Amino acid sequence: MLCNRHTLIYLGDAARAALLPAVIAGLPEPMRNARIEGQVTDTLLGERIPGIACRPTGPCPQGGGQIGFSFPFRVGAARVRSAVGVSPAQITATLTPWEVMVLAETLGDTLHPAIEELRRISVATGVEIGLIGSVALQAVTGLGYTRPDSDIDLVVRATCLEHLHALAAAVHDLTLCTGTALDIEVALAGGIGAKLNELLSGSDAVLGKTIAGVELIPRARINAILAPGALQGVPVSDPQHPKKQAERRRLWM
């Protein structure tokens, strides 16, 4: 089953062709016209864009899950999107946000001028930074997902709240210097994601998102998860860490 939100999911060519009618059927009603359906077909089959693991909104195949497709074109201000259920047999590869950031770092300013500074912030704060959203999709596809005013969406992992405070201060300075808005989610144990600003707000509970839905997480639980030494994930020095795996894995199929 697909358990981690934001993971990019690659499908085989036969699976793409088989799922195309469902992808088109899943388009919002205002986007169901011959022009958009043609663009969706060309992009899904020709460009072989990945889907994104997301919360199921309908039945899914046994052992599988739902993926959302975000396309590099819009209708007005709204990006064209759709979602379908997939089976494990249809999936050929996956790519985590941390692996995407490795690729983004090789692209540097050609992808976005803030990427190199984010790498330095990661090193300075000890927080692992992963890339999601439109900038991530542009990094892996080379297609025009971003606009000059696009935000950068990130998901991060940290060992403690102190490191997250350091990250928040650093990205605040980055935003002031560059004008680039950053939307940051923190990955917690159990596949839970919580907004950085909520975690640092001191509130009694924080809204957490999972592949299954949302829940309120008590502050005491947050403090226990992010106690010193309670890193969620594999240490960077481990050869199985995503950054090490990405050096020897094909990033797209």
Burial zone of 124 (CB within 10 Å; 0-12 exposed, 13-18 middle, 19+ buried): exposed
SS3 51: strand
69 and 119 both lie in a single domain = no
Average pLDDT over residues 184-213: 93
- Pairing type for strands 214-218 and 205-209 reads antiparallel
Closest listed residue to residue 180, CA positions, set 133, 132, 113, 97: 113
pTM: 0.89
Virtual torsion, Cα 34, 35, 36, 40, nearest 10 deg: 90
The whole domain housing 20 covers 8-95
129 and 210 both lie in a single domain = yes
199 and 182 both lie in a single domain = yes
53 and 178 both lie in a single domain = no
How many structural domains does the chain have?
2
Judge whether 3 lies within some domain.
no
- pLDDT tens digits, residue range 49-75? 999 999 999 999 999 999 999 999 999
Judge whether 251 lies within some domain.
no
Given pLDDT bands bounded at 50, 70 and 90, which one contains residue 229?
Answer: low
